[in-house]
């Protein structure tokens, strides 16, 4: 199977397994796991922040951040298409009593600045929940993986900070963003007061995300992680893979981007398939199949028959993600399979 469903399907590399088997361990809840401590220092350094905390998942990283930034009954502004708003089971609302307030997302993963400004400039009034946080996402998953321009991040941060609100960045794929924007993760994180990123996606680790911020913020976030049940003991087993990832798996993401571009170009030439354009493409391709849901279902089945799977993104659209397990030759096979599948479902 050529599995394009997500970069989360990546498996740990032999170097990771080796590092995991040799990892020096201790009890991380006591702060005594040297491998976790080393990974956390590396993570903080790479995004230019004071401190970092290992969490099992990106979802927990974002949730611990929201809980640490927001009191119950306060508002967090975030994109209407944000992963935290759409895909994290409403955790911030359910567990934090946080009023998640969606702001319109543009196709490029930006948030509507006028809408955000209107929200922030509301006169103080006992009717309204108090604003506490603005959250951004880069790269933007539901916006076809688009990398969000630094200028936009700076503009949002300017607005938020002018209203004394912190900014959290869901940087699950921050290194993909850095490559697409030809900059560094540090530069992207500059606009944010806290940032989370995943080890378990394109970086191919089995488990793990990091939440980064000031020492004081991470101190508070550690209590939230404990509350959420995310205080792990000999977590150096996981962290060891993370260290290998940060040392060796970031630069190769370029390959995934080139493969995604080739895939977008190839699919774009197939009659009946419409590739969603992206200003700053990273490792995702979203495409729509003509003819609505019934045709799309047949198309997916025809692709599966040819050994290719992708995720549905809507009734007639799909998301294909390139990753460490996908080669350039696989991309050629996928495009050939799509041409055949389209021929089959559209008839001639």
40 vs 299 by CB, closer to ligand PLP? 40
Give residues with Cβ within 8 angstroms of 183, minimum separation 6.
150
Nearest to 141 by CA among 286, 11, 300, 304: 286
The whole-angstrom distance between residue 229's C-alpha and the CA centroid of its chain comes to: 22
* Contact (Cβ atoms closer than 8 angstroms) between residue 201 and residue 209: no
Nearest approach in angstroms of CB 198 to ligand PLP is: 5
55 vs 342 by CB, closer to ligand PLP: 55
Residue number, 145 or 236, with CB nearest to ligand PLP? 145
Residue closer to ligand PLP (CB basis): 106 or 274: 106
Q: Which two tokens stand for residue 174?
A: 């921050």
- Beta strands at 2-3 and 308-309: parallel, antiparallel or unpaired: parallel
Q: Least distance to ligand PLP from the beta carbon of 329, Å? A: 26
Closest CB to ligand PLP among residues 137, 193: 137
Q: Which residues contribute to the site for ligand PLP (CB under 6 A)?
A: 57-59, 62, 83, 137, 141, 170, 172, 198, 200, 209
The per-type count for the chain, helices as H runs and strands as E runs, is 14, 13
Residue nearest to ligand PLP (CB): 58
Widest CA span of the chain, in angstroms? 67
The Cα 168–Cα 136 span in angstroms is 6
DSSP state of 211: E
Tell me how far, at minimum, the Cβ of 238 lies from ligand PLP, in Å.
Answer: 12
Residues 295, 301, 303, 309, Cα dihedral to 10°: 110
> Least distance to ligand PLP from the beta carbon of 25, Å?
22
Q: How many whole angstroms separate alpha carbon 186 and alpha carbon 143?
A: 22
Give me the least distance between CB of 59 and ligand PLP, in Å please: 3
CB of 179 to ligand PLP, least distance (A): 16
Q: Which is nearer to ligand PLP, 109 or 166 (CB)?
A: 109
């Amino acid at each position: 199977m050529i599995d394009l469903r997500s970069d989360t399907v990546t498996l740990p590399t032999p170097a990771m397994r080796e590092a995991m088997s040799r990892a020096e361990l201790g009890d991380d809840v006591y702060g005594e796991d040297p491998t976790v401590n080393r990974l956390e220092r590396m993570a903080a350094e790479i995004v230019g922040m004071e401190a970092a905390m290992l969490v099992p998942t990106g979802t927990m990283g974002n949730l611990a951040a929201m809980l640490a930034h927001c009191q119950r009954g306060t508002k967090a502004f975030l994109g209407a298409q944000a992963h935290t708003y759409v895909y994290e089971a409403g955790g911030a609302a359910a567990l934090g009593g946080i009023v998640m307030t969606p702001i319109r997302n543009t196709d490029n993963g930006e948030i509507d600045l006028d809408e955000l400004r209107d929200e922030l400039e509301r006169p103080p009034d006992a009717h309204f929940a108090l604003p506490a946080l603005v959250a951004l996402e880069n790269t933007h998953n539901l916006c076809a993986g688009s990398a969000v321009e630094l200028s936009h991040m700076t503009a949002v941060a300017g607005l938020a900070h002018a209203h004394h609100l912190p900014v959290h960045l869901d940087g699950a794929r921050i290194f993909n963003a850095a490559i697409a924007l030809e900059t560094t993760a540090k530069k992207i994180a500059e606009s944010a007061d806290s940032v989370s990123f995943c080890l378990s996606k394109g970086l191919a680790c089995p488990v793990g995300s990091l939440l980064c911020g000031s020492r004081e913020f991470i101190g508070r976030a550690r209590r939230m992680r404990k509350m959420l049940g995310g205080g792990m003991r000999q977590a150096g087993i996981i962290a060891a893979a993370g260290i290998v990832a940060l040392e060796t798996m970031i630069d190769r993401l370029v390959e995934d981007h080139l493969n995604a571009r080739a895939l977008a170009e190839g699919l774009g030439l197939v009659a009946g398939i419409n590739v969603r354009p992206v200003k700053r493409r990273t490792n995702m391709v979203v495409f729509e199949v003509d003819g609505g849901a019934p045709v799309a279902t047949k198309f997916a089945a025809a692709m599966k028959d040819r050994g290719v799977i992708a995720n549905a993104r809507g009734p007639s659209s799909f998301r294909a993600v390139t990753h460490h397990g996908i080669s350039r030759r696989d991309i050629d096979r996928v495009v050939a399979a799509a041409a055949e599948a389209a021929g089959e479902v559209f008839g001639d």
